[in-house]
Amino acid sequence: MSVRRFWASASTLVLAAVAALGIAQPASANSSAAAGGYVALGDSYSSGVGAGSYLSDSGDCRRSTNAYPYLWAAANSPSSFAFVACSGATTSSVAGTQLGALNSSTGLVSVTAGGNDVGFADVMQDCVLSGEATCLSSVGTAVSQIQNSLPSGLSSLYGSIRSRAPQAHVVVLGYPRFYQLSGSCIAGLSEKERSAINNASDVLNGVIAKQAADAGFTFSSVVDEFTGHELCSGDPWLHSVSLPIYNSYHPKAAGQSGGYLPAFRSAA
């Protein structure tokens, strides 16, 4: 998604390590999911922006071999794998451009969407470049959109996914909190700003979880996996403001393999 764009270079060792973890699971854990085709939908948090090692044919979608869908597919060998998640995707663009990968034989679907619908990238820009009052106002506007307009977008997307893939097990993943409060950061945003941004992420995850449940899908949070690895922690799995700028506020390779992959694997 364009909303949370932050990542660092990934190592091929990550792929090997995660593949080993997948093989070590009980054979029954992923056998049914692997038997059908797997389709990875969504925004930049699913495409792997910030994780480096981008597939040459993915262009500005920046699909990474270090992203959790690619790592899961490498470890579990589904009968087919369509990796169509794209940086900047919204609920409507996922519905309009990615669902062609689904069909009646699709067995497993993953998706992240919603952050771009409420302009989270713009929120972070306001918070980084402007004062506290502007930041808090921008966060408040995003929270209002999350509560009032996002539910219908998610409901429409999830309904379209179910229509295209009626037999699929659909896993909807959430977003991490960005900041460890009272952490190691000595400059940058205020604690009040960081707390507001974390709260907005919690509200976003709550709305996504409810809509996923209403659709009969499985919601998998990544908050626990990222706890202790937020910005201002000693070992952040997210990029702060960095170059190239699209990396900012996106998971690094470690965030994909250590955060998103376990959350998806447990739900898949």
Among candidate residues 2, 44, 46, 110, the one labeled active-site is 44
44 given a catalytic annotation: yes
Tokens (6 digits) for 98: 């990615």
Please measure the distance between the N-terminal and C-terminal CA atoms of the chain and give it in whole angstroms. 21
Tokens (6 digits) for 165: 């893939």
239 given a catalytic annotation: no
Q: Which of 218, 233, 230 is nearest to 265 (CA)?
A: 218
Q: Collapse the DSSP code of 169 into the 3-class scheme (helix H, G, I; strand E, B; otherwise coil) and give the result.
A: strand
Sole residue written with tokens 């495409």? 47
Q: What are phi and psi of 111, to 5 degrees?
A: -155, 140
Q: What are phi and psi of 245, to 5 degrees?
A: -60, -25
Q: Which amino acid, one-letter code, is at 200?
A: A
Among candidate residues 169, 229, 239, 250, the one labeled active-site is 250
Question: Among all residues, which ones are annotated catalytic?
Answer: 44, 250
